[in-house]
Amino acid sequence: MAKHIPNILSISRIPLALMLPFLVLLDTRWPFLLVFCLCGATDVLDGMIARALNVQSKTGEKLDSAADGISIVCYFIAVIIGVDIVITPLHWGLMGMVLLGRTHNMVFTWAKFRCVGFIHLRFMRWAAVAIWWLIPVSVWLGYLPAIPYAVLLCAVILSAFEETVILGKMQPGEYTMTLKSYRQWQRNKKRANEQSQCDEVMV
């Protein structure tokens, strides 16, 4: 039973996230904040528990990515409903770059690896944590802070570019969603090459 806990947490994040736009419509700030924190808790705990129990799996990665995608959509719907947003041409341009970069990576991943998902890079996680805090603050204040929003969009763009570079250099059998950075991919590649050379020498 314990090995299913991470997947249960990932799946539970979906109905919790779907509640958020309705809570904003009902103008219930405290319930919104509570549910939002529960979404964040499940996002942190599913991976943490999976690593602690050593039950990480491809299915778990896909469930986590799906739950993340649905949650992000619900978060932005909640912001659009509950926040007075003044979007400048700069913000529109940055959002377009984010959409283009993430869509490109998703299509490229499917075309090359026959898999749908995003690599969980450290830089992207930092940006996601910052956005995670910006959403309830914006809903609570009733407006979206323009400068922090622009900075976070730039961070997401840089993360998407890093992911693009990694995907371009990866071989089909090397794909994984658990990389933290380009440097880690280089270290893993170097270690695999060294192991391959050692195996050849032993043979």
Rounded average pLDDT per 10-residue block, the chain, 203 residues: 81 92 86 88 84 79 80 82 75 80 82 75 75 77 80 83 83 73 75 70 58
DSSP 177: S
Angle at the Cα of 145 from the Cα atoms of 155 and 15, rounded to 5 degrees: 75
Same domain, 124 and 24: no
Task: Tell me what pLDDT residue 119 has.
Answer: 75
Task: Tell me what pLDDT residue 15 has.
Answer: 93
Quote the domain boundaries for residue 18.
1-82
Task: Tell me what pLDDT residue 29 has.
Answer: 80
- Extract the tokens encoding 195: 């192991």
C-beta of residue 123 within 8 angstroms of C-beta of residue 78: no
Write the CB contacts of 108 (distance below 8 Å, at least 6 apart in sequence).
164, 167
Same domain, 34 and 92: no
Task: Tell me what pLDDT residue 12 has.
Answer: 92
For the whole model, what pTM was predicted?
0.62
Domain count of the chain? 2
